[in-house]
Structure 1
Amino acid sequence: MSTTGAPGIDDRSTRRLLSLAVSAFVVLAAEPLYLLVDTAVVGHLGSTPLAGLGIGAALMALLTIVGTFVEYGTTSRAARWFGAGRREAAVNEGVQASWLALGIGVLVVAVGEAVAGPLTRLLAGGGGATQAAAESWFRIAVIGMPGVLLVLAGNGWMRGVQRTREPVRIVLIANALSALASPLLVYPAGLGLAGSALANVVAQGVGGALFLRALHRAAGGLRPDRAIMRAQVLVGRDLILRAAAFQVAFLSAAAVASRMGTAQIAAHQIGLQLWEFTALLLDSFAIAAQSLVGAALGGADAAGARRMALQVSRWGLYAGIAFGALYAAGWWLVPRAFSSAPAVLHQAHLLWPWFVGMLPLSGIVFALDGVLIGAGDIAFLRTITIVAAVFAFAPLNVAALHWHWGIGGVWAGLTAFIVVRFVGMLWRARGDRWVVLGTGGSCD
């Protein structure tokens, strides 16, 4: 019995897709939910520690970009081996990704400690109490980067072999530990802001250790293989460039909005936080697609890969339409949950049509992003993302500032960023170049 009306897409494949998507969503949502708890805990220390946490957390998020490939790249490579019936080779991708995670994590710690002062001064606009708070938090928190990257690598290989429950359990344990430890270390232990950073490091270490234990049980050994690691790094180069293009686009939008006025940047922050929350669900379908499309191509099932691409795109579209309808209905109420200032609410209403209008296309874009990552078509994704950022978003963003188009102009640029990626990825998905069968999985 078909659940989508497409031939060959049955209840079992739909259940598998939804199972992977739900697992990915829980893992993706755990970190933002913890950050909300940590923000609430630190917020009671005063505005300066809270500002320091904001700057330090932004730096940590920026550094985590380097770990993108140990998660997404590992999923696509492991999924191909898994689809080909080579489970031991799939798990070995996790072994090598974990070695890379450890090595890169140690390097990031060293670099982070060396540049903590200059980076926090840059973001804080100079020295002072806020910069000192940010630097003290960051110097402790960055020690947890090896654990962060091990968690990313663990999620990557487990998704590749379609183990959905264990990553959820590990991530929930680690984040629950951090959520419990943070208030205890901040207040009864008297560590203040440093207690928040220490809670992060402990939780990240526990999460990384749990993923390593699961990996050792599955692999039976943890011997490094330089050839496999080298191949993973080549995939990682394009994934990092793609992630950097995203960061440049969204950071530039925030910079332009801040120059328009306090109400504009406040409204932009409301829209951006809602967008990032919505992206969690949409990205969960993309992660499911990485695993299932990679497995189909690894098993030399081109038709199955195409059917899965169609199915996940439909689910992404449905989710995008549903969120768009909810936000459209809540255009008056939702912004008021974040601010009561009339000027901020006015600016939020100006960006709202763009925010709502981009969601259906975003659902498809996220889905196809996962399809092409699963297919190993990373170079194309890198290129289309950079093209969309440089030739669609950037001109509109600059024009919005120069010609005083307001916050609506900024969000028109973000919408154009989505539209260009949608057109390019749809064209790519309709072709044959991404359908590379076997365990190689790279597209030129």
Structure 2
Amino acid sequence: MHRPLPSHDPRAIWSIAIPAMATNVATALIGIADIWIIGQLGDAAAQGAVEIGARLLMSLLVVFNFLKTATTGLTAQAAGQRNEQEKMAALLRASAIALAIGLVLLATKPVTVPLGLDLLEAGDEVRADAALYVDIRFWAAPAWLLNAALVGWLIGLRRVRTVLAVEVAVNLIHVGLGVLFVLVWDMGVMGIAYATLISETGKLAMLLVALLPSAKFPAFAAAARRPDLWEAGRMGALFRVNRDLFLRTLLLTAAILLVTRQGAIQGTTILAANAILFQMFMLTALLLDGFENAAQVLCGETIGAKDRDGFDKTVRRIMLRGIGTALILTGFFAVASGPVVASFSTDPQVVETVLRYDIWLLALPLAGVASFVMDGVFVGATWTRAMLGTMAAAFIAYGAMLWLTTPLGNHGLWLSFTVFLLIRAAGQFAMTPRLAARTFAPITAEK
């Protein structure tokens, strides 16, 4: 059987990062395809409704993204320890929590959807279609949460290529259904929602099949019978990690929601333009998140193996490669951002507005890359309390910047978001030496 590359081997970074980048791009294509397909109707209100509906639903779900990130870190640490039963236990715990959260979300749907539309300032032009979109797509919430747990587990085992294959298949299904429902059958916003519902449930079925080689039934059953599977101490540690990641993601989601809300306040055209710009930012973020995935897995493995030297080398090597990739993305947007973003709408006013603000696409990759990589380091090391603290500080600064830059209008909004990314990274860099010294202290003491 082929043995994985050692965590400290530079080739291990690319063996995880490249498939993860491709996987993340495939994931982003769902949102990008939705905005592009609905944009071909030339209706800014319909495009704005999909943006608000998708942002609301994803905000409710993404706060539970700890199901992926925590599972990746804990699984990687178990792999570093060569603890097969703990790997199975990580999968069982994450899946049970995902299913429970999904059922709660469905039960509270009649309250959360109207409240969310109010908070996002959904005006009369977009509210009805946004509510229709969310009402249909919401039924895929349990599948989305289970998918997050399963993907996190597979990534923690370095099975990133498997995840990529699933994402590509799901995207082909999603885009094909979106084109059929919207551009052929003229189902409008409802067609986009049904395409997402079908593709998300199909993804769950594919992932369940994909995990079978690594989760054979005898090992899975042995983990399920473990008396300490749901033991208070182990569950307490899991919920501590998940709590911190939940609160951190809640703040990140609030920051993203403010981008949508501030755009909606400025009118339908700005809302539609910002939706396009944000999808481009998310594309760069998900590319750079390939290095976050590499940091989660490789740093988790080095900590599980108590390898301080390997940890330090891994962080440096991943950061350098992330910065280099961010420079390439900035160069691409410097050359091609105009025609790319303009293709996302046939409304001349929306296109003109997008081109007025696309300069921010040059700054965002460089501003965000360090925070993305350090997020992976902190998750892999399960330094989640510190991660929450740096996010809270950045969010407070973000709120202050939004207030101070109000006279700059939409430029002020994007400047504030850029500063938010920079402050997150600065806080994480500042805390890393102390956290690493504490994590590896037992090894030092023994020596």
- Note whether the superposition's TM-score is higher than 0.5: yes
Show the counterpart of 1:395. Answer: 400
Q: Alignment partner of 2:408: what SS?
A: coil
- Matched AA of 1:101: A
Match in the other structure for 2:94: 97
Which stretch shifts more, 312-321 or 323-332? 323-332
Equivalents in 2 of 1:267, 1:95: separation in Å? 42
Match of 1:424 among 411, 424, 427: 427
Q: 1:358 to 1:141 in 2, by over 3 A?
A: closer
**Structure 2 counterpart of 1:316:** 322
Matched residues in 2 for 1:331 and 1:175: separation?
23
Asked whether 1:68 is paired with 2:72, we answer no
Match of 2:419, as an amino acid?
A: A
1:332, 1:186 → 2: CA distance? Answer: 26
Match of residue 4 from structure 1: none
Letter in 2 for 1:66: V
- Measured in 1, the distance between the counterparts of 2:366 and 2:48 equals 35
**Does the Cα contact within 8 Å between 2:357 and 2:411 map onto a contact in 1?**
no
Q: Which one is further off, 61-70 or 167-176?
A: 167-176
> What CA distance in whole angstroms lies between the structure 1 residues aligned with 2:437 and 2:67?
21
Point out which structure has higher relative CO (alpha carbons under 8 A, 6+ apart).
2
Q: Matched residue of 1:431: which SS?
A: helix
2:198 to 190, 198, 202: 202
Q: Secondary structure at the match of 2:382?
A: coil
Letter paired with 1:97: A
- 1:236 shift after superposition: 1.6
The code of the aligned residue for 1:110 comes to A
User: In the aligned structure 2, how far is the partner of 1:217 from the partner of 1:40?
Assistant: 37
Indicate the residue corresponding to 1:178 in structure 2.
174
1:134 maps to which residue? 130
Query: Relative to 1, partners in 2 of residues 1:132 and 1:324: Cα closer, same or farther, differing over 3 Å?
Result: closer
Residue 164 of structure 1: how far off its partner (Å): 2.0
Return closer, same or farther for 1:381/1:120 CA change in 2, 3 Å cut-off.
same
| TM-score calculated relative to the size of structure 2 | 0.82
Q: 1:280 aligned to 2:276?
A: no
Q: 1:414 to 1:197 in 2, by over 3 A?
A: closer
CA contact (8 A) 1:60 1:142 kept: yes
Q: Is the 1:297–1:435 contact (alpha carbons within 8 Å) kept by the matching residues of 2?
A: no
Of residues 380-389 and 273-282 in structure 1, the stretch that sits farther from structure 2 once superposed is 273-282
Deviation at 1:255, TM superposition (A): 4.1
Q: Which residue of 1 aligns with 2:445?
A: none
In structure 2, distance between residues paired with 1:432 and 1:279: 26
Distance 1:346 1:55 in 2: 21
Partner of 1:344: 353
Would the alpha carbon gap of residues 120 and 360 (structure 1) be closer, same or farther in structure 2, given more than 3 Å must change?
Answer: closer
Q: Which amino acid aligns with 2:427?
A: G
- Contact 1:267–1:345 (Cα < 8 Å) also in 2: yes
Secondary structure of 1:85 counterpart: coil
Is the 1:97–1:229 Cα contact (8 Å) retained in structure 2? no
Shift, 1:264, TM fit = 6.3
Q: How does 1:361-400 map to 2 (within 5 A)?
A: 361-390=367-396, 392-400=397-405
Range that drifts further, 87-96 or 40-49: 40-49
TM-score (norm 1): 0.83
Report whether the alignment pairs 1:20 with 2:16.
yes
Shift of 1:418: 2.5
Deviation of the 1:370 alpha carbon: 0.8
- Cα distance, 1:260–1:136 mapped onto 2, change above 3 Å: closer
Q: How far has the Cα of 1:207 moved from its partner?
A: 1.5
> CA separation of 1:27/1:229 partners in 2, compared to 1, >3 Å: closer, same or farther?
farther
CA distance change for structure 1 residues 336 and 179 in 2, over 3 Å: closer, same or farther?
closer
